[in-house]
Amino acid sequence: MKFNDALQHIQEQIQKMLEEIGEDKIEKAMEYFFEANNIFVYGAGRSGLVGKAFAIRLVHLGFPTFVIGETITKPVKKGDLVVLISGSGETIPVTMTAEIARRLGAKIISITANPDSHIARFADLLIVLRPKKKIAELAPLGTLFEAAAWLFLDAIIAELMARKGENEESMKRRHATLE
């Protein structure tokens, strides 16, 4: 079955991608999250959906978090953190956001599959999630990057939970009550 082949391929590739992220990068990310006045997350398309899921969890942890492009987002300022997610690292709205965030003095974490990309050049911290082997009929387009980014960011949430002394119960108290 193609399903089983796809599942195996996706799992293997994501595992390899995530294993390459050094602990030094996680430590630097923790520093940026805890130092930030506000956290802003942005990506386009499916990467944007990954970013929104991450932003929700940051809110559940009590971080003042906003999704760039939403109508209730406050302005980015010096002392803020901007997390950008783009497989290509060249998506126009994301690259423009990197340039503006840099000009405003915010720290930038860029998550991309392309270490030579536009958003990589603006990053204070660069997280590269590049597949080693891509079989298009098993993981089309940006599937491997997006899935790896989702898992990476959920693991960041687990680390933030531990360092803040949070648990599922404390996070539930910040969960939306009107859905």
Separation CA 43–CA 49 (nearest Å): 7
User: Tell me: the pLDDT tens digits for 166-175?
Assistant: 888 888 888 8
Catalytic one of 146, 166, 169, 179:
146
Separation CA 145–CA 13 (nearest Å): 10
Closest by CA to 85, choosing from 38, 133, 137, 50, is 50
Residue 22 has pLDDT above 70, yes or no: yes
Residue 9 forms part of a structural domain: yes
pTM: predicted TM-score of the whole model, two decimal places: 0.94
pLDDT in tens, 47-67: 999 999 999 999 999 999 999
Does pLDDT of 178 surpass 80?
A: no
CA distance 54 to 175: 13
Tell me if 26 sits within 8 A of 157, measured CB to CB.
no
CA angle 92, 138, 143 (to 5 degrees): 25
Distance between CA atoms of residues 152 and 19, nearest Å? 10
Question: Is there a domain that residue 178 lies in?
Answer: no
Tokens 């387009």 locate to 141
Copy the structure tokens of residue 179.
């859905």
Which has the closest alpha carbon to 90: 80, 81, 99, 79? 99
- Tell me whether residue 146 is in a domain: yes
Residue 107 is part of a domain; what is its CATH number? 3.40.50.10490
Q: What is the domain count for the chain?
A: 1
Give the pLDDT band of residue 11 (cuts 50, 70, 90).
Answer: very high
- Whether residue 145 lies inside any domain: the answer is yes
Q: Which amino acid, one-letter code, is at 105?
A: G
Residue with tokens 């298009």: 136
In degrees, to the nearest 5, what angle opens at C-alpha 46 toward C-alphas 81 and 71?
55
Q: Which residues pair with 42 in a beta bridge?
A: 84
Whether 146 is catalytic:
yes
The domain containing residue 43 runs over which residues? 2-172
Residue at 179 is within a domain: no
Residue type, 85: I
In a domain, 16, yes or no: yes
Give the confidence band of 134 by pLDDT, cuts at 50, 70, 90. confident
